[in-house]
Amino acid sequence: MSGVASAREDLRRGAFFQGSDAFTRMAAFIFRRLIQAIVVMVVVAFVSFLLFQYVGDPVVFLLGQDAKPEQIRQLRADLGLDQPFFVQFWHFLVNAAQGEFGLSLRQGQKVSRLLGERFPATFELSIVAAALALLVGVPMGVYAALKRGKALSQVFMVVSLLGVSLPTFLIGILLILIFSVLLGWMPSFGRGETVQFGWWSSGLFTRDGWMHMILPAITLAIFQLALIMRLVRAEMLEVLRTDYIKFARARGLTDRAIHYGHALKNTLVPVMTITGLQLGGLIAFAIITETVFQWPGMGLLFIRPSLSPTCR
């Protein structure tokens, strides 16, 4: 009996050390990824900071072409622009790590405050678009896989091809033309009525906010919806050809149990991974969508200064 107890104790110790080693490897992997992410962000910040040295003098923009040399020198010293490039970049990194990105030369406000005001609109639009793409794209993909050759399945495939092919701005313009101009059902611009929760503003708690949300969310979601639908269809067809699905059929399980209890679960694993990675793409595409619908988010905040003259 003592030998059995000793063996059990050795097994527990071995399992403990194996778990500890796995945790250590995972922590080391996460740490390396964080270091790589920090290095990438610093390099991108350095390149961006370097490029902005050649896009115009902010002092001339603030004071105008008729400013006196003494005023230019004084403002340049106040802004720290008379210091060497690397000193300026170091100050920028230190301030950015604290959430301070300086002042907007065009609007005269803190950049952090402007981002805080616009971020809720972009975040809500992206989340609603992602939810819409998942809730519609997954059922369409499952139907297209299980009902191959049916007329509706072919329609879904054509729609997905158009969703992948058509540019986002064209989809938005077509939706505005149909549902706002011709039918008059939906508003064509703006965010509508919002509710304030501290610094966070939300349009999800008002009917007017949802009416303004529908067209931009559909426009932003169509590409992701088409991508998810085609991915679900391809993965579903691949899973249905595996051996364990054939074994489940041999056991006499119903098609419903096989399709939704076994095949769909394994199909959604890569779909969830791709969807999470595509969330950043939604925020990037939001720049175009917000411009088309004049949605007061971060995309519109970024695009307006780039279209405006930098000097007076």
pLDDT tens digits along 224-278: 888 888 888 888 888 888 887 788 788 887 878 878 877 888 888 888 887 777 7
Beta bridge partners of 197: 200
Distance, in Å, from the CA atom of 172 to the CA atom of 222, rounded to the nearest integer, reads 10
Residue 88 pLDDT level (bands cut at 50, 70, 90): confident
Phi-psi region of 308 (alpha: psi -120 to 50; beta: other; left: phi over 0): beta
Residue 6 pLDDT level (bands cut at 50, 70, 90): low
Distance, in Å, from the CA atom of 134 to the CA atom of 282, rounded to the nearest integer, reads 13
Average pLDDT over residues 22-29: 80
Question: What letter represents residue 68's amino acid?
Answer: K
Q: What is the pLDDT of residues 174-230, one digit of tens each?
A: 999 999 889 888 888 888 888 888 778 888 888 888 898 999 999 988 988 888 888
Alpha helices of the chain — where are they, by DSSP H? 2-51, 58-63, 69-79, 85-97, 111-146, 151-165, 168-175, 207-240, 243-250, 255-256, 264-293, 298-307
Beta carbons within 8 Å of 254's beta carbon, 6+ residues apart: none
Question: What was the pLDDT predicted at 77?
Answer: 78
Q: What is the pLDDT of residues 121-161, one digit of tens each?
A: 888 888 899 889 889 988 898 888 888 878 888 888 888 88
Buried b (16+ CB within 10 A) or exposed e, 209-243: beebbbbbbbbbbbbbbbbbbbbbbebbbebbeee
Question: Does the pLDDT of residue 310 top 50, yes or no?
Answer: no
Question: β-pairing, 195-197 with 200-202?
Answer: antiparallel
* Percent of the chain scoring above 70 in pLDDT: 85
Question: Does the pLDDT of residue 311 top 50, yes or no?
Answer: no
Pair of tokens at residue 216 = 């931009």
Question: What was the pLDDT predicted at 206?
Answer: 87
Asked whether 142 and 237 are in contact (CB, 8 A), the reply is no
Question: What was the pLDDT predicted at 253?
Answer: 79
Distance, in Å, from the CA atom of 22 to the CA atom of 19, rounded to the nearest integer, reads 5
140 vs 13 pLDDT, higher one: 140
* Percent of the chain scoring above 90 in pLDDT: 4
Asked whether 268 and 138 are in contact (CB, 8 A), the reply is yes
Pair of tokens at residue 276 = 């999470």
Question: Does the pLDDT of residue 105 top 60, yes or no?
Answer: yes
Q: Which of 3-7, 103-107, 241-245 has the lowest mean pLDDT?
A: 3-7
Tell me how far apart the 2 most distant CA atoms of the chain are, in Å.
97
pTM, two decimals, is 0.72
Nearest to 296 by CA among 219, 223, 212: 212
Nearest to 255 by CA among 174, 146, 111: 146
